[in-house]
Structure 1
Amino acid sequence: MIDTVEQALVSPRYLAGSGDAAWITVPLHRACGWSYGHDPLIPRVILTSPDQQAHLRLEPNPDNQWWRLRHAATRNSPSWYASFSARTPVELIAAVTDALTDPAASRTGSASALDPLQDAGWQWQPSTRVSPDGITEVEHFTNHGCNSWFITAALSKDPENQLWQARFDGNTPDYLITAFTQALADPAPLARDPLLLPPHLRRHPHLHTEQVPVATVAFALERRVAQLTARHPNALTKALPTRPSPQPGPGHRR
């Protein structure tokens, strides 16, 4: 019986590649009560918040952002929009959806979205924060009536070498953008299946692998669902299963 499985630990985390979309979609449905529509003939996922105000759409589109999050206008705030390209690490997107669905999240007086980057030693350029290795830039454009955020990871200025991009319009609540930049600057590595690493990582100096217990991998998503469920006064899911989930094969690791 196999007791451990190999995982790659990737740091900086913005190089990790996309990861498993279920890290976002499953907790939104099971822990936060978001409903979904299902059409087996169309390769997309659409999740809707219980109040019908927010929609998350995941749709494979090689010419556009794959993840699109929209929130309708309310009495106290305008509508807003965020999007993420295919290879954006799911943990960074999950930081936004976790904050959005957190009943205790602070909607006012949050820290600047640039503060976590400054604390992590990112370099300052006009309207831009640049990671120490120069790979990732966080830009906030406010000129000529434009108010938008662009977070871009790229191995060079050549568009062919762009890894991913996240976009937030200017109406996006500050605390959600800050949640993203906090996750972006977090020094903790992200775990990935060594067999599914993007090509640019295969000789990366900060990449290493380790053997971890199979149960750690198999139950990672269940633990995440349970933790997010605990934030809500009315539990929407049951406790962790008493029987283990199927052991992950080579293509079934986060």
Structure 2
Amino acid sequence: MNDTVEQALITPRHLAGSGDPGWITVPLHRAASWSYGHDPLMPRVLLTSPDQLIQLCLDPDPDDPGWWTIRHARTADHPGWTATFEARTPAETIAAFTDALTDPSGPPTAAPDPCAPLRDAGWHTPPRLGCLVSPDNIAHVWRIGASGRDLWSIETAVIQDPTIWRAVFTGATLLHLIAAVTQSLADRMTVHTRHVPAPDIAFALERRVSALAARHRPAPAAPPRPLGPSPRRTR
């Protein structure tokens, strides 16, 4: 009989805890070919995209809550932007951002509304508060500034802990990346446990890497058409 592991599944995502940072960093390196250049003697991770335009820094500084920083350099077509995630941001939420960021299909033709999945999930806008609030009143999504230059902020807080975690996206951050994060948060509050085979847990990251790496493989070429007899010319 195979060993099993009790797995706790917690939603909404904003209450899930920080999780395993490898869920983010390992696929970036192995599936999306981001290079690493950090000092192995320092508790810091630096990953850089193949085009050298984007860098992820994981800097576990107890005096700085913004452990995760993703920076995109300015290009001729788009200004630079920065996304930061505090230490207790769920790894799955950050992974939603990096998965969208490394999707080889690129951004959609029409920019999505990051608020749409939250409204569909029952998030509401209290009077005079100017933000979207989760049904449990713990998570808040703020949009500050003028359209096209606005700053987005996601914050979770309870009375016992004024701030559980916060994520901030500067105004030039592409909307489909923010929408990937809000989509990951658009779920309901449930807690349940299940027993799963231990290998399913042990190889979950490997399956994730394989699935993401498949996005970067070229589609197989169509087989050549068979050569038939040359048509006979008639007068």
TM-score, normalised with respect to structure 1:
0.80
Match of 1:130 in 2: 133
Match of 1:164 in 2: 165
Deviation at 1:8, TM superposition (A): 1.0
Q: Answer yes or no: is the 8 Å Cα contact 2:46–2:58 preserved in 1.
A: yes
Match of 1:44 in 2: 44
What secondary structure is seen at the aligned counterpart in 2 of 1:124? Answer: coil
Q: Where do residues 80-95 of structure 1 align in structure 2 (5 Å cutoff)?
A: 80-95=81-96
Query: Which sections of structure 1, spanning at least 5 residues, go unmatched?
Result: 190-205, 236-254
Match of 2:119 in 1: 118
Q: Provide the rounded CA distance (Å) in 1 between the counterparts of 2:216 and 2:141.
A: 32
Q: Answer yes or no: is the 8 Å Cα contact 2:131–2:141 preserved in 1.
A: yes
Percent sequence identity is 55
Q: Where do residues 15-164 of structure 1 align in structure 2 (5 Å cutoff)?
A: 15-64=15-64, 65-125=66-126, 126-142=129-145, 147-156=150-159, 160-164=161-165
CA displacement, residues 202-252 of structure 1 (integer Å, 9 cap, x when unaligned) = xxxx433221111110110000000000101259xxxxxxxxxxxxxxxxx
CA displacement, residues 176-223 of structure 1 (integer Å, 9 cap, x when unaligned) = 000110011144x8xxxxxxxxxxxxxxxx433221111110110000
The one-letter amino acid of 2:86's match is S
Q: Answer yes or no: is the 8 Å Cα contact 1:36–1:48 preserved in 2.
A: yes
Q: Provide the rounded CA distance (Å) in 1 between the counterparts of 2:214 and 2:133.
A: 36
Q: Provide the rounded CA distance (Å) in 1 between the counterparts of 2:22 and 2:79.
A: 29
Deviation at 1:38, TM superposition (A): 3.2
Deviation at 1:110, TM superposition (A): 2.5
What secondary structure is seen at the aligned counterpart in 2 of 1:180? Answer: helix
Deviation at 1:115, TM superposition (A): 0.4
Q: Provide the rounded CA distance (Å) in 2 between the counterparts of 1:62 and 1:112.
A: 34
Q: Answer yes or no: is the 8 Å Cα contact 1:107–1:173 preserved in 2.
A: no
Match of 2:191 in 1: 207
What secondary structure is seen at the aligned counterpart in 1 of 2:61? Answer: coil
The one-letter amino acid of 1:35's match is S
Runs of 4+ in 1 over 3 A off after TM superposition: none
Query: Which sections of structure 2, spanning at least 5 residues, go unmatched?
Result: 220-235
Match of 1:232 in 2: 216
Match of 1:199 in 2: none
Q: Answer yes or no: is the 8 Å Cα contact 1:136–1:154 preserved in 2.
A: yes
Q: Provide the rounded CA distance (Å) in 1 between the counterparts of 2:195 and 2:6.
A: 5
Q: Answer yes or no: is the 8 Å Cα contact 1:35–1:47 preserved in 2.
A: yes
Q: How many residue pairs were aligned?
A: 215
Q: Provide the rounded CA distance (Å) in 1 between the counterparts of 2:111 and 2:63.
A: 34
Computing the radius of gyration over CA atoms, which structure comes out larger, 1 or 2? Answer: 2
